[in-house]
């Protein structure tokens, strides 16, 4: 395996973990009335069931990650992977600092 492919795979694995953390922290913060769900479709889902929210959120996220993995040699997939990793790091930073400020 090439060094670049190892980097992409590592980034994709990190995305898997960050997606899980995002789902868990979102449920926790909403349950504690620290935050609200910004996505209107997911907001309806989390109002119905925390478990359904997590399952659907992870199913959609992991499907996207799987597609990126299948296309890891494609330049657009590489850019998307790095972009999503940056977004999720920023989102988790927001989760942490948002919770600390409440």
Give the whole-angstrom CA distance, residue 5 versus residue 86.
18
| Start-to-end CA span in the chain (Å) | 46
Buried b (16+ CB within 10 A) or exposed e, 13-45: eebeebbeebbebbbebbeeeebebeeeebeeb
Asked if 38 and 91 count as a contact pair (C-beta separation under 8 A), the reply is no
68-101 pLDDT per residue, tens = 999 999 999 999 999 999 999 998 998 888 766 7
Domain boundary assignment for the chain? 3-100
Give the whole-angstrom CA distance, residue 8 versus residue 78.
7
10-66 pLDDT per residue, tens = 999 999 999 999 999 999 989 988 888 889 999 999 999 999 999 999 999 999 999
R_g of the chain computed on alpha carbons? 15
């Amino acid at each position: 395996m090439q060094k670049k492919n190892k980097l992409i795979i590592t980034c994709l694995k990190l995305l898997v973990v960050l997606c899980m953390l995002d789902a868990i922290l979102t449920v926790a913060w909403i349950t504690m009335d620290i935050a609200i769900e910004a996505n209107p479709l997911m907001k309806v889902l989390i109002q119905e069931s925390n478990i359904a929210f997590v399952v659907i959120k992870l199913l959609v996220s992991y499907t996207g990650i799987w597609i990126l993995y299948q296309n890891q040699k494609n330049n657009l997939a590489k850019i998307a992977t790095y972009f999503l990793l940056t977004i999720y790091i920023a989102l988790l930073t927001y989760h942490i600092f948002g919770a600390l400020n409440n």
